[in-house]
Amino acid sequence: MHRLWVRAAFAGAAGGVAWLAGIAVFFGPAQRILTDPSRQSAKFLAAFTEPPLPRQAESPWLVPAGLLAVGVALGLAYHLQAGAGSGSVWRRGRRFGLLAWLVAMPWFEFYLPFNVMREPAALVVLELFCWFLVLQIVGWTIAFAYHGRRAAAGGSAAGSGSV
């Protein structure tokens, strides 16, 4: 049983790395739109350019470390729900990525960017889409790291150590 929790934490750490990569791949190109002063709220832009700057400006390691910790938490959450899942590793990962998105992103995007930062609704929708793509990659990465190659190739879930 202890090995499964270690596997879940490792899978989650891999998911945290995938989260960082997903942000770079999907949010990187979107920055042209998201940081365009003619589209974005001045309040939102000021949060990243005027003092006090985000903590990440003084501690660049903070966000990667935080996402790694969030990834480990997601890996443990995946372990807790893995027994209820069926189907291929792709399907399990897609379902878990959707679950993570549904639990976190609509509230986050509504409360902070839209409500507090007064970000326009169209940009909130773009960010929701980017987050959906990021969390799909995180879900797939966690599922593949958790179940291993055998399950990815069509082996049984029971044989891959899922609960």
| pLDDT-based confidence at residue 1 (cuts at 50, 70, 90) | low
Q: In sequence order, which residues have a C-beta less than 8 Å from that of residue 48 and are 6 or more positions away?
A: 54
- Report the pLDDT value the prediction gives residue 150, as an integer from 0 to 100: 61
Residue with tokens 């350019």: 49
Which SS3 state, helix, strand or coil, does residue 20 take? Answer: helix
| Residue-wise pLDDT tens digits, 9-61 | 999 999 999 999 999 999 999 999 999 999 999 999 999 999 999 989 999 99
Please, which pLDDT band fits residue 152 given cuts at 50, 70 and 90? low
**DSSP letter string over 111-148?**
IIIIIIS---HHHHHHHHHHHHHHHHHHHHHHHHHHHH
